[in-house]
Amino acid sequence: MSYRVCVFSNDFQELPNVQTMRTVLLGVVTLGFCCQAFAASPPHTLLVGVDKRPTRSLNGEWHYLVEQPPSRELYDSHGQIRDNGYAQNTHPNISSGPHNSEYDFATAPTMHIPGDWNTQEPTLFRFEGVVWFEREFDFQPKAATHTFLHVGAANYKSVVWVNGKRICEHEGGFTPFDCDATAALHAGSNAVVVAVDSTRHQDDIPSVSYDWTNYGGITRDVSLVTVPTQFIDDYDVHLKRQDTFSAQAAKIIMGYVHVQGAAAGTAVSIRIPDAGVNTNAATDAEGNAHFEATANRLTLWSPEQPRLYQVEVSSGADALTDDIGFRDIRVDGTRILLNGKAVFLQGVNAHAEAPVRGGRANTDADVANIFSMLKDLHANFVRLCHYPHDERMLRTADRAGVMVWSEIPLWQNISFDKPEVYDKATAMLAEMIRRDRNKASVILWSVSNETPRNDTRTRFLTNLANEARRLDSTRLVTSALIGPKVDQQIVVQDDPLAAGLDVVGQNQYIGWYEGKPEDADTKTWRLPQKPIIMSEFGGEAKFGNHGGPNDRWTEEQQANLMEHQLTMIRKIPQVRGTTPWVLMDFRSTTRNIPRLQDGYNRKGLFSEKMEKKQAFGVFEKAYREHSVGKAE
């Protein structure tokens, strides 16, 4: 179910708070500014739990063709998508007859999907533009079913055709989408063509300038998913949130199951055998079956005991089983409470960079490597920056007992004054939350990172934070703030955005971008009286480069800087978590100091080859001894 609320306004800055708008205008349609702020689902099909269904993988070798800008095969002279060029997947007539558009997928080179084109083809390492992908596959349609083409992520804009028929479009490089291919498929040989455009634009999310490599391509799994005519496309199964947490009362499971195409009154079953839950519900006119049931026995999920339960949902001919944990996360003053107990988040930032091999992380081996580094660090928390990561990361965090901060890529210079950009942000937020709301490990939704402070941005992000709460009231909302300048002895963070957050992230780089490492020792921070996560801090060092504690780019200097940071952080009473920047060196085409950076951001505790720098030892010891901060 979704609402489209339209508000007449000539000034986006004057839009009221989202909660107020929802109360006054829900269901009202007028002329003027339209936003998707109140959509209960993204503006296209998005199947939840695809990795828990039988699927037909289309991973493997795909043919590809590179289109140098301007992209005349994807876009016409008016910027509209063309359906009569490469999308038709014709072959050149080598004997007689008319030419096609001077292309041929059948004889084109191949590239592995999922995968970014930057690290697979040297000539495309810095390429940003359109690459076309094609694959043929055999298929036998089944009666009374729908078949979707599922794409885990493709960066940044995607257009999909099956057998020459356009079946969907998607914008956003880090969230999944599902294209209904039923009407385009036929028995026998079929062909799918996907055009992926990684060109940057000012009004994209993220915008034109960011500090990581713009990996283009179909970067996550592709598969065919066949479901019955009436099918479960979404579900939310969670521990009921009480006004105050009580371990004795934490036994009520609630949520909904949405059945696409179901008439009102369609039966739905929810079973959690190991928790003694066996209940039924019926869909309403919008296909939602709401339920509430008491578990006879329930162990709450935590880092010490990451208990997952097999949750079985079914309706008619459709059924699936997901692995879900149940826990309560909330704030109490400046404390973060997990299942009623104060917790300190011993964490680190992590980009979706594949260790050792490089490129976008998207395999079981990539995830295993990342979590081995987190384990060595004794981390119980990870900030997955600056965009939603592969679903494997969240599944593994669930099993490993690692708490997660997940965010959408609203990074720095976003066009906060444009309603259409707000539409994109709410769509990406809805996609992230819809995919991962059943992951116990996710405790924080983040709406942004390091955004410039002004009234327009503050209204935009406050409304977005409220939208996150509307979509999911069981988690906390945060953002990583930048500033103020730290050249004064007393550092005052009075960003008004903090008022709209449950937990405040604070980025700062004392000793690297500002001042000297030892300057941190004497700083006094005046921070909001909320839980604070020191969300970014650090300095660069190339693995194996040695020198004195004040020699830049050396392991010794990086470790020295981190020691001074910990001295400062220990004196800030409301700090409830630390995430140094960053777990591992990652590629960034803006980092161009030869022999020191070579195209990498070198602030990692590990090198890109998983080699431990001296700064790793600083945090390994602090986290092992629990000497960084206090939960209370």
In which residue ranges of the chain is CATH 3.20.20.80 found? 331-624
Give the residue ranges of DSSP H helices in 382-501: 391-400, 419-436, 455-471
- 365-382: pLDDT as tens digits: 999 999 999 999 999 999
Answer whether residue 15 shows pLDDT above 90.
no
The residue-averaged pLDDT of 340-360 equals 98
Q: Name which of 219, 222, 223 is nearest 115 in CA terms.
A: 219
Tokens of 210: 């960011």
Answer whether residue 45 shows pLDDT above 90.
no
Please provide the average confidence, as pLDDT, over all residues in the chain.
92
Check: CB of residue 397 under 8 Å from CB of residue 441: yes
Which residue matches tokens 């987190």?
Answer: 374
- Give the rounded percent of residues in the chain with a pLDDT score beyond 90: 88
Of 25 and 192, the structure prediction assigns the larger pLDDT to 192
- The dotted CATH code for 50-228 is 2.60.120.260
Check: CB of residue 189 under 8 Å from CB of residue 136: yes
Cα dist. 452→449, 497, 618 in Å?
10, 11, 32
Answer whether residue 1 shows pLDDT above 80.
no
Return the pLDDT at 412: 86
Return the pLDDT at 34: 33
Tokens of 609: 């080859």
At residue 65 the predicted structure's pLDDT band, cuts being 50, 70 and 90, is: very high
Return the pLDDT at 70: 81
Count Cα neighbours of 8 within 13 Å in the Cβ-side half-sphere: 4
Sequence-ordered list of residues with C-beta below 8 angstroms from that of 379, at least 6 positions apart, any chain: 346, 347, 348, 402, 623
The residue-averaged pLDDT of 19-34 equals 30
Return the pLDDT at 122: 97
Return the pLDDT at 12: 33
- 591-623: pLDDT as tens digits: 999 999 999 999 999 999 999 999 999 999 999
Return the pLDDT at 14: 33
At residue 23 the predicted structure's pLDDT band, cuts being 50, 70 and 90, is: very low
- 415-427: pLDDT as tens digits: 999 999 999 999 9
Answer whether residue 30 shows pLDDT above 50.
no
In which residue ranges of the chain is CATH 2.60.40.10 found? 246-327
Q: For 88, phi and psi rounded to 5 degrees?
A: -80, -15
- 441-495: pLDDT as tens digits: 999 999 999 999 999 999 999 999 999 999 999 999 999 999 898 888 999 999 9
Return the pLDDT at 93: 79
- The dotted CATH code for 246-327 is 2.60.40.10
pTM above 0.75, yes or no: yes
At residue 97 the predicted structure's pLDDT band, cuts being 50, 70 and 90, is: low
In which residue ranges of the chain is CATH 2.60.120.260 found? 50-228
Answer whether residue 264 shows pLDDT above 60.
yes
Task: Return the CATH fold of 331-624.
Answer: TIM Barrel (3.20.20)
